[in-house]
């Protein structure tokens, strides 16, 4: 999956994408590597909540949401494009209270409380975040339960959609187990050198959790291999099926060029010094 496709996913989709595949900054050159165009996995279900399931008593500072209980799934409450407009005072200035410009929304489920901190657009720390996700922990034997949204600051709260996102727990556990089993072995890491052995069950891309830098050079079974930027900040290396010996070596970019430039400069300075000294002696002999 490419970074552009990854950025189109919501938070849960991104989490599952990281477990199921690798995110690259460009398409892999190896045609044997399967490129996944899928935006969201089939096991991730998104259910928009209609207004009939969201009740807000008139004059109250809260709203109740009725959600189905599915204990075999991870359940999340997803707010899309949630924006807070602060209440104005008499001087036509916005009242901004609480942490980072607003106290936000307190999400209460049974005895569990989670807070959504919404930054006002007038806050100096505002960075454009508008989507929020809260995990729902089912602790009831009933088929449905209520989640309460307590609005802690005066003003208007606008959103495009509130939806439930569910992911089967068994799928998450299976992917975590697979990641653990398919890891590098015989790892050696010293200074600017990294070594390891990886057994690939098929042609695939190995993610090495060392920050990506152009200074790294990779060889697989003695052959120079291209390094991709993977999962946002790490390194991805194409692996052919079978047991592969991976070697990574780091050299500061431009170090050799800089050393050669310095050497040439010193040689030039030395030649100039010798010429100047010879010229100085010649002038002294004339007098």
Does residue 49 share a domain with residue 37?
Answer: no
Q: Tell me: the pLDDT tens digits for 67-105?
A: 878 778 888 888 888 887 766 554 444 444 444 444 688
The tokens describing 174, both together, are 């299976």
What is the model's pLDDT at position 197?
92
CATH of the domain at 117: 2.60.120
Task: Name the phi and psi angles at 95, rounded to 5.
Answer: -85, 115
Q: Contact, 124 vs 158, CB < 8 A?
A: no
Does residue 127 share a domain with residue 67?
Answer: yes
Angle between helices 169-181 and 11-20 (to 10 degrees): 40
Give me the chain's average pLDDT, please.
77
CATH of the domain at 242: 2.60.40
Residue at 275 is within a domain: no
Q: In terms of Cα–Cα distance, which of 205, 215, 213 is closest to 244?
A: 205
Q: Identify the domain boundary among 172, 190, 207.
A: 172
Does residue 149 share a domain with residue 79?
Answer: yes
Does residue 110 share a domain with residue 150?
Answer: yes
Which residue intervals of 75-217 are DSSP H helices?
A: 169-181
* Greatest Cα-to-Cα distance within the chain, rounded to the nearest angstrom: 111
Which pTM does this prediction carry? 0.60
Does residue 17 share a domain with residue 61?
Answer: no
Range of the domain at 96: 45-172
Q: In terms of Cα–Cα distance, which of 70, 68, 67 is closest to 107?
A: 67
What is the model's pLDDT at position 247?
93
Classify residue 23 by burial, with Cβ atoms within 10 Å: 0-12, 13-18, 19+.
buried
Domain count along the chain: 2
What is the model's pLDDT at position 59?
64
Q: Identify the domain boundary among 118, 153, 172.
A: 172
What is the model's pLDDT at position 179?
79
% of the chain residues with pLDDT over 70: 77
Tell me how far apart the alpha carbons of residues 129 and 95 are, in angstroms, rounded to a whole number: 20
Q: Tell me: the pLDDT tens digits for 44-59?
A: 777 777 665 565 666 6
At a CB cut-off of 8 Å and minimum separation 6, what does 253 contact? 213, 214, 215
What is the model's pLDDT at position 217?
92
Does residue 201 share a domain with residue 162?
Answer: no
């Amino acid at each position: 999956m490419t970074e552009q496709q990854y950025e189109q996913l919501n938070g849960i989709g991104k989490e599952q994408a990281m477990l199921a595949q690798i995110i690259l900054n460009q398409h892999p050159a190896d045609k044997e590597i399967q490129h996944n165009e899928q935006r969201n996995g089939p096991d991730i279900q998104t259910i928009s909540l209609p207004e009939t399931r969201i009740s807000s008593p008139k004059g109250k500072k809260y709203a109740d949401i009725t959600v189905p209980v599915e204990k075999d799934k991870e359940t999340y409450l997803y707010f899309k494009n949630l924006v807070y407009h602060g209440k104005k005072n008499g001087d036509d200035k916005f009242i901004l209270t609480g942490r980072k410009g607003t106290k936000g929304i307190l999400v209460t489920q049974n005895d569990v409380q989670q807070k959504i901190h919404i930054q006002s657009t007038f806050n100096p720390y505002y960075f454009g975040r508008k989507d929020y996700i809260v995990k729902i922990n089912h602790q009831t034997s009933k088929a449905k339960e209520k989640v309460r949204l307590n609005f802690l600051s005066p003003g208007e709260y606008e959103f495009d959609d509130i939806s439930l996102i569910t992911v089967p727990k068994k799928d998450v556990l299976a992917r975590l187990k697979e990641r653990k089993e398919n890891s590098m072995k015989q790892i050696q890491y010293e200074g600017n050198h990294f070594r390891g052995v990886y057994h690939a069950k098929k042609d695939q891309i190995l993610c090495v959790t060392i920050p990506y830098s152009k200074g790294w050079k990779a060889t697989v079974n003695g052959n120079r291999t291209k390094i991709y930027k993977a999962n946002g900040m790490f390194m991805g290396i194409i692996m052919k099926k079978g047991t592969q010996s991976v070697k990574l070596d780091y050299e500061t970019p431009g170090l050799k060029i800089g050393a050669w430039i310095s050497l040439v400069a010193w040689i030039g300075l030395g030649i100039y010094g010798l010429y100047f000294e010879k010229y100085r002696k010649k002038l002294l002999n004339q007098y």
